Amino acid sequence: MKPHLRLLATLLVAGSILPAAFSAESGSLARIRDRGRLIVGSNMVFPTLNFPNPTTGRNDGFMADLGRAVAKQLLGDEAKIEFHKTGEDTRFDDVNKGVVDVLIDTIPVSEEKLKIVDFSSETFVSGSALLVKAGSPIKTIDDIKAGTRVAYGSANPDVKLIKAKSPGATYLEFEKSPEAVAALKEGKADVFTQVVTHLFRAASQNPGYVLTGRFTTKSYAMVVRKGDTELQAYLNDFLKKFRASGEYDRLYARWFAAYGGENIR
């Protein structure tokens, strides 16, 4: 036996601690377990996704609970989680520098982003949909006809798909979503089209309005440090099991069913 191998064998027999290279978990998973809490980054702006409850101080929403489910599997306790507010311009730096372990947020996968961070498998399907008053005959963009009044956000390019399909409809442009929702509630518009996350926020704040007819898709996923294949693989395995167990569907229903969530699955 070579000298360095004899030395290693002697240390193992003597009960020495294995060096990091020989540990089953020597990277981010070990660091999280040693710390005893999972640090999750989020911009915390959407009430149904991840938003600090002003009454309880607890982060509520689908993404917040998804993070707790990861913490429960990884650390045995869903409370062993810390939510860190991240900015649009700094979030990827935060995860790459280790300020947060993972971003669980409304972050779409793209080739450009894949150059600087890595993604898990899909956590949520967004895209553009419709917000209507409950009971409205408008279910999909096929129901938008000549004379239908469509409110839309100026920053959302997907409205062009409705315009191409229904050029005879009336289109009302608004800079901000709350202005469009107000027009809908005041009877000045029949439908409001915007990205799903904005529509869920509007529905949660305005009883009697529901989502329907998602007509584009945008895939969201968790974000990890570039090259962190260990944590990426762990999260993918978690999501696979979470879906197979039915927990994903139950969590989705908990946060979105009341607002027409099943209409846009």
CATH number at residue 157: 3.40.190.10
Residue 15 domain-assigned?
A: no
Residue 74 domain-assigned?
A: yes
Backbone angles phi, psi at 232, to 5 degrees: -60, -45
Range of the domain at 71: 24-125+220-264
Residues 118 and 193 occupy one common structural domain? no
For residue 117, give the H/E element and its range: strand 117-126
Residues 69 and 147 occupy one common structural domain? no
Residue 158 domain-assigned?
A: yes
CB 131 within 8 A of CB 199: yes
Angle of helix 196-205 versus helix 177-185 axis, rounded to 10? 50
Q: Can you name the residues that pair with 230 across neighbouring β-strands?
A: none
**Tens digit of pLDDT for each residue in 100-148?**
999 999 999 999 999 999 999 999 999 999 999 999 999 999 999 999 9
Number of helices (H), then strands (E), in the chain: 9, 12
Count the domains in the chain: 2
Q: What is the DSSP letter of 187?
A: T
pLDDT at 86: 97
What's the whole-model pTM score? 0.87
53: Cβ contacts below 8 Å, ≥ 6 apart: 59, 60
Residues 119 and 242 occupy one common structural domain? yes
Greater pLDDT, 26 or 79: 79
Share of residues in the chain with pLDDT > 90 (%):
89
